[in-house]
Homo-oligomer: A and B are copies of this chain.
């Protein structure tokens, strides 16, 4: 299994505290060691960093840490290859331009025999099931809408596509156009919304503490989404199996949850991934 990390905020925010714990899972406290990638929206632009070195000792990760990029939408991914050769072209997040804006996508899971028909607008460059799914989603959206539709319509369309693709296997993903961040769980995906009054938190993977009150203003709202909770001293919520949510300005604004939601324990989540042939 790979690990996903996302952030969606109502003001440009430094993700470094969360990234620090997350990236240490890429080789030190965990063994997600086939590379990593992180993409930051800055206005309409994107900074995208990919590395095929383990994130815990990657010079790119050091740069990301030193640079303190502030962003309203971030998607990061630590990769343990289950399909496709480890190469730069196969490193998440993937990026495309649609409707005059960039889109980022990262996936954690395994889609079996997922070879959708070739689309008109977007083609995979690498060999992963993940990039095929990303291009398929964008091709179907772009074919249906010549410009970005309103949030409800967009969310409904992505929910429909997610249900179709979900039939092929495990499909935890995050997708963002720099405005909204979509997150879908097949197994494990947790999130927290931090807002005033801000407290303190300590990273689970590291002896690092942050007092969010010192680094925020009272109107800030920051949602952090991750495969597994990153901090102690805070209560993380969990997405149900097959739940899709849309974050905007640091909170969930639309949500498609099964009528009888199921929440996997960490053990169940890891076991489900293992049974599906996904490296964990």
Contacts and interface: CB of A to CB of B under 8 A. Distances in A.
Ranked nearest first, the 8 interchain pairs of A and B with the lowest CB-CB distance are: A45-B88, A45-B89, A100-B123, A44-B89, A63-B63, A42-B88, A44-B125, A59-B67
Interface of A: 42-48, 50, 59-60, 63, 66-67, 87-91, 95-97, 99-102, 121-126
Q: Is chain A's interface secondary structure helix, strand, loop, or mixed overall?
A: mixed
A47 B101 contact: no
Given A43-B87, A63-B59, A88-B46, A123 B96 contact: no
Contacts of A121: 121
Contacts of A60: 63, 67
Contacts of A50: 45, 47
Nearest to A53: B67
30 contacts: A42-B87, A43-B87, A43-B88, A43-B89, A44-B87, A44-B88, A44-B125, A44-B126, A45-B50, A45-B87, A45-B90, A45-B91, A45-B125, A46-B88, A47-B88, A48-B48, A59-B67, A60-B63, A60-B67, A63-B63, A95-B95, A96-B97, A97-B122, A97-B123, A100-B123, A100-B124, A100-B125, A101-B125, A102-B125, A121-B121
A38 to B, nearest CB: 13
A10 to B, nearest CB: 20
Contacts of A46: 88
B45 A126 contact: yes
Contacts of A95: 95
Contacts of A97: 96, 122-123, 125
Nearest to A67: B59
A149 to B, nearest CB: 16
A67, A102, A121, A125 interface centre (most CB from chain B within 10 Å):
A125
